[in-house]
Chains A and B, each alone.
Chain A
Amino acid sequence: MSVLVYAETEAGKLKKVAFEVASYGKAVADQMGTEVIAVTFNAADANALGNYGVSKVMNISADGNFDAKIYASGIQQAASVAAAKVVVVSSSADSRYLTPLLAVGLDAGYATNVVAAPSNLAPFTVKRTAFTNKAFTQTEISSEVKIIGVSNNAFGLEENATACTVEDFAPSLAASTITVESVDKATDKVTIADAEVVVSGGRGLKGPENWHLIEDLADTLGAATACSKPVSDMGWRPHSEHVGQTGKPVASNLYIAIGVSGAIQHLAGINSSKVKVVINNDPEAPFFKAADYGIVGDAFEVVPQLIEKLKAFKAQA
């Protein structure tokens, strides 16, 4: 018996979500009185998982690009070898892509967007978000093998130094039936999914030519940039930056909204962020009801000041 965590890598290095799923896996394993085993693909630094409670890593060498079917098959074979009763995955785009396949393969019930360790093991009960962050549900999983998709940045990192061994694992993997033709990804930018801080702009910025304000503030904070739905619908910014109910969810530590009024669909998408700041010249904007901190003022005056003061603050720190 074990808890298996799928620890994701990017270019051979473990991602932050890998340590978050390991931390979650350790909490579940402690409740169950068992150990945490991790499965990784092409991880050069797999040992680091030992800092978060993992006692064994099964590292798979796979050529080529990410392929959901092949990765799901590798994880499924690892789960079988590890006799996993619980499999923990992240909420990254790739994990959400492959895990439904894994769930069918393992005949496992799968709960996504889980925000806390199980409240009960029998029946196995977890708390998850639903209605795009407007509510939580208590969900019971009744299958023998259970899969938990941990919501980004919900459980956090919990260090737990553990003696960790890394083994090569060579499952039998089929040939890919999907060919990656091109990848369009800014490698120098923080993604919304990984970001600790997200800076978001709305219609109040008046046009795409003013986006340097958002970008400069984001650069100062090491943040990802995002936008509201009207901004992406008008083509000021790419769809990939649209956050909200029909866009991307945001679960950052800090979310700064500039010139965003705060439509209910937008607020739903960013509700999992821990601290919300709004800068808007309309004191009646609904965002002020959802925010922790707010400035009523003109973004074109407030944001340049904020950038300047933050630079001074960072220089001091």
Chain B
Amino acid sequence: MKILVCISHVPDTTSKINFVENDTKFDTNGVQYIINPNDEFGLTRAMWLKEKSGATVDVINVGGAETESTLRKALAIGADKAIRINTEAVDATQVAKEIVAVIQNDAYDLIIAGRESIDYNGGMVPGMIAAMLGASYVNNCVGLEIDGDKATAAREIDGGKETVSTSLPLVIGGQKGLVEESDLKIPNMRGIMMARKKPLEVVEPNGATALSTTTKFEKPAPKGEVKLVDADNVDQLIDLLHNEAKVI
């Protein structure tokens, strides 16, 4: 089985979010980059499939040379090969088209992408890849079992969970639940050493055009002070929620 995991290079979840150049660019100063958490759950699930059934696991990313540290981390976790498409990611349409152009003849049985990246929160790349390849597709995937060319997947729905069966090739939008937080692996020294020798292919882009662009960023307005209510006076809280905030 051939598995591809799409990796986004994103600011760490604790990063302070600031903008520069008249609020047109994200301020990378002092920001640590990580594998997008939703992608990392999928990568770890892919590792389990590799251990169980001898799958090969490739990882792919659209981005500049600065994203290679994140791809190396994926290799250190256990991926076999990394591919970097050498262009700036502008929108989901462009990213999905670039990825599909590179992999369309590679016959991946399973393509895993996070349900969304934690920076732009677009949530479109897995579905767009599935549509472009004509593959089966399950989003918000919280459980996945593969048996031959059949797949059973659980997806989170509003208010619960749905279990579906479908066939490979399959694209999933993954998230926590594919594996647990405690299952995520911190690469060990051996993995890091081995990752240095693994192939990281740099592919030139196909020239896909984006259909949307971010022109400006804005930070939320600063919040006012919290109004404290005495613990013995919950009536006052109810009064404030009813008469001032008008939410009950």
Contact = CB atoms under 8 A, between A and B. Distances in A.
Contacts of B140: 93, 96-97
A30 interface: no
Contacts of A221: 248
Contact of B241 (A104, A183, A277, A289): A277
Interface string B123-152: 111111011100011111010000000001
B190 interface: no
A137 interface: yes
Contact of B167 (A110, A131, A133, A177): A177
Interface string B65-90: 00000000000000000000000000
Contacts of B130: 100-101
Given A131-B119, A294-B228, A306 B237 contact: yes
B223 A131 contact: no
Interface stretch (A19-27, A46-54, A158-166, A246-254): A246-254
B240 interface: yes
Interface in A85-105: 92-94, 96-101, 103-105
B158 A302 contact: no
A293 B37 contact: no
A183 B157 CA distance: 9
B163 interface: yes
Q: Is the interface of B mostly helix, strand, loop or mixed?
A: mixed
A296 interface: yes
A103 B226 contact: no
B212 interface: yes
A121 interface: no
Interface string A89-128: 0001110111111011101111111000000000001010
B215 A139 contact: yes
B234 A302 contact: yes
Contacts of B137: 68-69, 101
A113 B121 contact: yes
Contacts of A103: 93, 124, 127-128
B20 interface: no
Given A246-B176, A290-B223, A93 B215 contact: no
Interface stretch (A32-40, A56-64, A186-194, A201-209): A186-194
B69 to A, nearest CB: 20
Interface string A166-203: 00000000000111111111100101111011000000
Contact of B220 (A109, A134, A233): A134
- Interface size class of chain B, counting residues whose CB lies under 8 Å from the partner chain: 35 or more
A207 B67 CA distance: 41
A239 B14 contact: no
Contacts of A129: 121
A142 B212 CA distance: 6
A156 interface: no
A143 B211 contact: yes
B127 A97 contact: yes
A138 B211 contact: no
Contacts of A191: 158-159
Contacts of A194: 158-159
Contacts of A45: none
A261 interface: no
A240 interface: yes
Interface in A234-280: 239-240, 242, 245-247, 253-254, 264-265, 271, 274-275, 277-278
Contact of A138 (B210, B215, B226): B215
Contact of A139 (B123, B131, B214, B220): B214
B248 A112 contact: no
B17 A134 contact: yes
Nearest to B135: A177
Interface stretch (B45-53, B103-111, B177-185, B197-205): B177-185
20 contacts: A68-B139, A94-B157, A101-B137, A103-B124, A109-B91, A112-B121, A135-B219, A137-B215, A138-B218, A142-B212, A178-B138, A180-B163, A185-B162, A192-B158, A193-B158, A193-B159, A290-B223, A297-B231, A298-B231, A313-B248
Given A100-B130, A254-B247, A289-B226, 12 more contacts: A100-B124, A104-B128, A133-B220, A178-B165, A179-B164, A183-B157, A183-B162, A185-B161, A295-B228, A295-B229, A295-B230, A306-B237
The 5 closest A-B pairs by CB, nearest first: A100-B127, A297-B231, A185-B160, A109-B211, A191-B159
